[in-house]
Amino acid sequence: MKKLPSLEGVQLAASRLNSVIRKTPWEFNKRLSELTGASIFFKREDLQQVRSFKIRGAYNKISSLSEGERTRGIVCASAGNHAQGFAFSCKKMQIEGIVYMPATTPQQKVSQVRMFGGEYIQVVLTGDNFDTCQKYALKFAKKENKTFIHPFDDTKVIEGQATIALEILEHSSGPLDYIFVPVGGGGLISGIVTVIKLLSSNTKIIGVEPKGASSMKKSLNEGERVVLKKIDNFVDGAAVSQVGKIPFEICKTQLDEIITVDEGKICQTILDLYNNEGIIAEPAGALAISGLEVMESNFKGKRIAVILCGGNNDILRMPEISERALLYASLKHYFLIDFPQRAGAMKEFVTEILGPNDDITHFEFSKKSYRTNAPAVVGIQLKKAEDFSLLVERMKIHNFKFDYLNEKQNLFQFLI
């Protein structure tokens, strides 16, 4: 087992990072404070140098390398934010680096990596997810005798991420009751736990994972690291099929609680942050805030810190984010409806089936002249979730046969 992170190591990391990173803002959030009855503070790592906390760990690790390791060059694998911190560090220290990124990485993050690294980095797009991409990167690093900079399973990386905890304690004018932390591979939360349990032992640390990639929660439940056979890559900054060895060792004994959040709820949080606070958060960045919003607990009178860990969101993803939020709120529904091929059938559907506030947002139909009925894929957006049962009842009364596609994942995935 590798050496675990220490408070001394975190303090050394803070001195290394002092002239490189920003001490990001500590902001009171009035909206969520009023909603929960607590005092909610955001730690705004989305306003960091590379719009993510990942620069802390990457720079701390790379700056601690020997001259020989720097000369041979370095390699990393990342879905985006670690790669940006890695690229920034390479350019800052003039070290040649190679960044392996999944071929599915949003283009905005790929462009940012190239911008931050300039002539000092090379980007290789390979694999459909982080885990596959990392296998290629590790194989290459071993073959070429280059140092691999792990995004989360490395003591120096974890100590760099943990400097956030030192800043949180410095910011806060009083004791904190909770800190909500996003969880991917576990580097950030294990660093936060390392510091907080020593310097603020009464503060509870709550980890938050996406429902479709809950590798830490499942590992803690099983008592050993598990490998998820299938993950939802939507929260790309936290979509990891297996957490790190070091983070797991720390979290299994010191983490107070871990919860999961539906990806649709994360999407709604992204929209709320943009519409209410003007904050552009990526899915992983909004993860901890979503956890606060769904956790069933009485927070009245508590002081709570929430880490908003990243703001690298590609604007091209917003239609999907909006769609997932509507689906989560039960305001968007898809049906395969068997329309009778007669004049007036569509008019009957619009006038008799749709409620006064219902809206058709998707319609695909192809007339079959040799059949009496033909299917149409119809997407309907509601004003209120409770209108769904009324809509279904009206279709049954008027003998419109249908299949509900929201529950048929294999078909539904083609629509969003």
Q: Residue 146 carries which DSSP code? A: -
Q: Is the pLDDT of residue 107 over 90?
A: no
Give the confidence band of 413 by pLDDT, cuts at 50, 70, 90: low
User: Which whole-number Å values give the CA distances from 10 to 55, 192, 256, 261, in the listed order?
Assistant: 14, 10, 21, 30
Considering Cα of 365, then 369, then 375, then 381, what sign does the dihedral take?
Answer: positive
Give the C-alpha separation, 360 to 365, whole Å: 13
Token representation of residue 17: 């990072």
Q: At what angle do helices 7-17 and 187-199 cross, to 10 degrees?
A: 110
Domains within the chain, CATH numbers bracketed: 7-54+156-324 (3.40.50.1100), 56-152 (3.40.50.1100), 330-412 (3.30.70.260)
Considering Cα of 168, then 174, then 180, then 185, what sign does the dihedral take?
Answer: positive
Give the C-alpha separation, 186 to 188, whole Å: 6
Residue length of the chain: 416
Phi/psi zone of residue 260: left (φ > 0), alpha (ψ -120 to 50 degrees), beta?
beta
Amino acid at 213: A
Residue ranges in 29-152 assigned as alpha helix (H): 30-36, 54-63, 67-72, 81-93, 107-117, 130-144
Considering all CA atoms of the chain, what is the largest pairwise distance in Å, rounded to the nearest integer? 79
User: Which pTM was predicted?
Assistant: 0.92
User: Out of 179-188, 279-288, 361-370, which region has the weakest mean confidence (pLDDT)?
Assistant: 361-370
Give the C-alpha separation, 327 to 130, whole Å: 27
Token representation of residue 252: 């299994």
Radius of gyration of the chain (CA): 24
Give the C-alpha separation, 18 to 14, whole Å: 6
Mean pLDDT of the chain: 94
- CA proximity to 8, closest of 152, 188, 189, 195: 195
Give tens-digit pLDDT for 329-352. 999 999 999 988 788 888 999 999
Give the confidence band of 409 by pLDDT, cuts at 50, 70, 90: low
Give the C-alpha separation, 294 to 261, whole Å: 8
Give the confidence band of 175 by pLDDT, cuts at 50, 70, 90: very high
User: Which whole-number Å values give the CA distances from 294 to 32, 208, 261, 273, 289, in the listed order?
Assistant: 12, 10, 8, 15, 9
Give the confidence band of 201 by pLDDT, cuts at 50, 70, 90: very high
